[in-house]
Amino acid sequence: MAEHLVDLGYEVWGLVRGQANPPVRHLRELRGDVRLIRGDLLDQGSLIAAVERVQPDEVYNLAAISYVPMSWQQAELTGEVTGLGVLRVLEAIRVCSGISASRSPGRGQIRFYQASTSEMFGMVRETPQTEQTPFHPRSPYGVAKVYGHFLTQNYRESYGMYAVSGIMFNHESPRRGTEFLPRKVSLGVAKIKLGYERQLRLGNLTASRDWGFAGDYVRAMQLMLAQDEPADYVIGTGVTHTVETLVDTAFSAAGLNWRDHVVTDAAFIRPAEVDRLCADPSKARDELGWEPKIGFEELVTMMVDADLQLLAAGPHASEEFADAW
């Protein structure tokens, strides 16, 4: 996101939490022109101070506890960060814009983007999913995101704020964290191909996801804040694949047969699964002029190639990289 905005000529500030935050060094190496400011979604005062200091035109909230399995282990923290964190950012914008909590409407100048998610559809009521599809989240993460989604809508309606949500389907790239399936698979394939490992342990292979390239999705986020009127949009490719197909595609990209290496492991099965997600991105296409440029096979091959290149430096190269992202 930061890279895309810098390329568009924005002055970009990143909110950094914690005392020691390993990704900061890597962000600086990647984009020295991104400025950093301290703050935490758990700390209302720090967010108000950040908005006062930066005086932003736009705020993108991509921060969350976003790994779905962790949300069962730390459900309260997920609610605090992923759910109430949205409230705190919206409140910081409202207060700094001088919008009264008792008087509406009064649109301020700061535009707000909330990263909503297809996980809100959960046990889907219809396929494909649109902006009108009802929500039925299946994890504490999904429930927290529904809160953030409706709160963003509510601040738009209550205060006339330019506050919008992008309902993002799964988006991936070589920078993806290694705990998420596509990166776990691309890294696993690279380790097996280079002879460092023989097996890859995975959970449910039958679930389906609408996987796209993160670089395409950040374009949509910026476009959503550049419209005349604020609105929510579904962002996805409209094509769905099973986990098994992703695994097969990744192993094939390295000339391997997944059946020789993949072991299913109950440790990776979730208490409740989202079985099948597929976006209908027509509204984004018609109103934003947005379309994904990178297809499924190109994405998976890109990720496998990137990890093969990364691990060419040695079997532990990915550990530093995992810390970085």
Residue 290 lies near ligand G4F (rule: CB under 6 A): no
Q: Which of 117, 222, 240, 318 binds ligand G4F (CB under 6 A)?
A: 117
Angle between helix 296-311 and helix 317-324 axes, rounded to 10 deg: 120
- Parallel, antiparallel, or unpaired for β 111-117 and 212-213? unpaired
Residue 118 lies near ligand G4F (rule: CB under 6 A): yes
Residue 129 lies near ligand G4F (rule: CB under 6 A): no
Nearer to ligand G4F (CB atom), residue 117 or residue 318: 117
Helix, strand, coil fractions of the chain, as percent rounded to 5:
45, 15, 40
C-alpha dist (Å) from residue 290 to 171, 239, 285: 15, 16, 5
Please, are residues 5 and 222 in contact by the beta-carbon 8 Å criterion?
A: yes
CB of 23 to ligand G4F, least distance (A): 16
Q: Which of 204, 227, 282, 301 binds ligand G4F (CB under 6 A)?
A: 204
Take residue 78 and report the two structure tokens written for it.
């997920």
Q: Which of 23, 108, 160, 203 binds ligand G4F (CB under 6 A)?
A: 203
Residue 68 lies near ligand G4F (rule: CB under 6 A): yes
Helix (H) or strand (E) holding 60: strand 58-61
Residues within window 242-271 making contact with ligand G4F, judged by CB under 6 A? 243, 268, 270
The catalytic residues are 117, 119, 141
- With 0-12 / 13-18 / 19 or more C-beta atoms within 10 angstroms meaning exposed / middle / buried, residue 101 is exposed
CB of 52 to ligand G4F, least distance (A): 30
Residue 308 lies near ligand G4F (rule: CB under 6 A): no
Interacting residues with ligand G4F (CB under 6 A) = 66, 68, 117-119, 169-170, 179-181, 184, 202-204, 207, 209, 243, 268, 270, 273
